Homo-oligomer: A and B are copies of this chain.
Amino acid sequence: MPIFEASAKSKTIFHGPFVHCVSLGELDICEAGAIGVDEDGIIVFIDRDVKFEELDTVVKKHGWDDCKVVRIYDSGFFFPGFIDTHIHASQYPNAGIFGKSTLLDWLNTYTFPLESSLADLSRARHVYNRAISRTLAHGTTTAAYYATNHVPATNLLADICKHKGQRALIGRVCMNTDLSPEYYRDESTEATIQKSKECIEYVKKIDPKHELVTPIITPRFAPSCSKDCLEKLGQLHKETGYPCQTHLAENTNEVKLVRELFPECDSYTAVYDDTGLLTDKMILAHCVHLSNKEIDLVKARDAKISHCPASNTALTSGCAKIRKYLDTGIDVGLGSDVSGGFSPSILETARQAIWVSRFVAMLDGDHAKLSVEEVLYLATRGGAKVVGLSDKIGGFEVGKEWDAQMIKLDEVNRYSEGQSEHDGPVDIFGWETWENKVHKWVYNGNDKNTLAVWVKGRLVHYTSAYKP
């Protein structure tokens, strides 16, 4: 495969069906759209009900004679790129390796040894190259990454995201307490702040306008950081205006530990609030075990929640009550949480969000159930709010940037014996509604259905089945 062009550099009309979420639970399905994207990757027009043979009229209307056309048809459609609001790029090689562990033993057994090994830049390059290629292949156009506590390896992650063209928030992981092993923690609060600043400066240097990569202040979680460290990170957040991310209330033993470590704080959530970190730019991963008072505090600060259902199930952390958060008006996105979560795919994470909501419904009633349309919203528009980019991404509107995936489902050849090799995992028999097709994609689709991926108009991934 060729190295992709650094920019689209030409006007492009994307023609064919497109699907996106207009609100929680509501899809907009346009069966024949023509979306005009300019040289900077900005959506300039969206025309609906345009037959392919009418495309000339559209071109003339907009004076776009010099444009390219990218088409999808039959059971294919354009869909917004997925937004992964919580993923540890450094843990990708451990995807699927967790045994029967739970959070605190999982960290010591699997996670700290792997993360610390990325001090070796050659190893970090190996891991990050593959992690970014994989997530792009799964349609993730934006990700909020945790790297490790190493400055050079964290900066390398930013380089790779920029080079491969993935929109990313790059977090150097801050840890200065003995919750982390001696071989893998910052020497002091001063070191934490100094190193965090170095990473911020580096990302500012390689992408001054943060068109693609942005630094994110990343205290691992309360038990990993001393109170003064959290306070100084809170100050850094206030001074720089850069977003923050951390973990909150993932596991009951962790909640108990935080109560012991921070007896002066009213709750786990209050630890972040008391240290200046609980703002509208904070992404809180997990939030499985929050009291009503904590939920109100999260809402009051307009902090965001990253729901990580695959991880919470795999590590037996519990079932986050997402319906309650949505009803409260909190912004929620999805996080793969690799490698607590086993899969780098947000489509798989969306399925897992459905399953977790079913388990909550078994105990609390049907209202808890999330629909296909709702989890797709969380995976796109919800995620855009969580990462603070809802003005740019999450759906298809004039003025937004073209972060999109081309999805193709396979139509069963009625007259063959069905022995041909399958291109993708979803079979369309021909009698399905468009809603059926979207559901089939969500429940059985995978990266084989994602023929091409664009970020800010730039083609950043495609498969051999992509024939524009």
Distance in angstroms between the alpha carbons of A242 and B440 in the assembled complex: 36
User: Which residue of B is nearest A440, CB measured?
Assistant: B96
Stretch at the interface among A55-63, A262-270, A311-319: A311-319
Q: Give A409-428 as 1s and 0s: 1 = Cβ < 8 Å from B's Cβ atoms.
A: 00010101111111001110
This protein's copies in its complex: 2
Residue A180 at the chain B interface, CB threshold 8 Å: no
| Total A residues in contact with B, Cβ cutoff 8 Å | 60
Q: Give A243-260 as 1s and 0s: 1 = Cβ < 8 Å from B's Cβ atoms.
A: 000000000000000000
Distance in angstroms between the alpha carbons of A361 and B100 in the assembled complex: 11
Contact B342 A443 (CB under 8 A): yes
| Residues of chain A in range 82-110 having any CB-CB distance to chain B below 8 Å | 92-93, 95-97, 99-100
Residue A121 at the chain B interface, CB threshold 8 Å: no
Q: Give A118-138 as 1s and 0s: 1 = Cβ < 8 Å from B's Cβ atoms.
A: 000000001101101110010
Contact A133 B100 (CB under 8 A): no
Q: How far is the CB of A391 from chain B (nearest CB, A)?
A: 30
Partner of A369, one of B100, B359, B446: B100
| Residues of chain A in range 289-317 having any CB-CB distance to chain B below 8 Å | 313-314, 316
Distance in angstroms between the alpha carbons of A96 and B442 in the assembled complex: 8
Contacts A96-B439, A319-B362, A369-B316 given; indicate if A447 touches B419 (C-beta within 8 A). Answer: no
Q: Give A341-372 as 1s and 0s: 1 = Cβ < 8 Å from B's Cβ atoms.
A: 01100000000000100110110001001010
Contact A447 B418 (CB under 8 A): no
Residue A194 at the chain B interface, CB threshold 8 Å: no
Residue A20 at the chain B interface, CB threshold 8 Å: no
Q: How far is the CB of A419 from chain B (nearest CB, A)?
A: 5
- Would you list the 7 A-B pairs with minimal beta carbon distance, nearest first? A96-B443, A129-B418, A133-B418, A96-B440, A342-B443, A130-B418, A93-B429
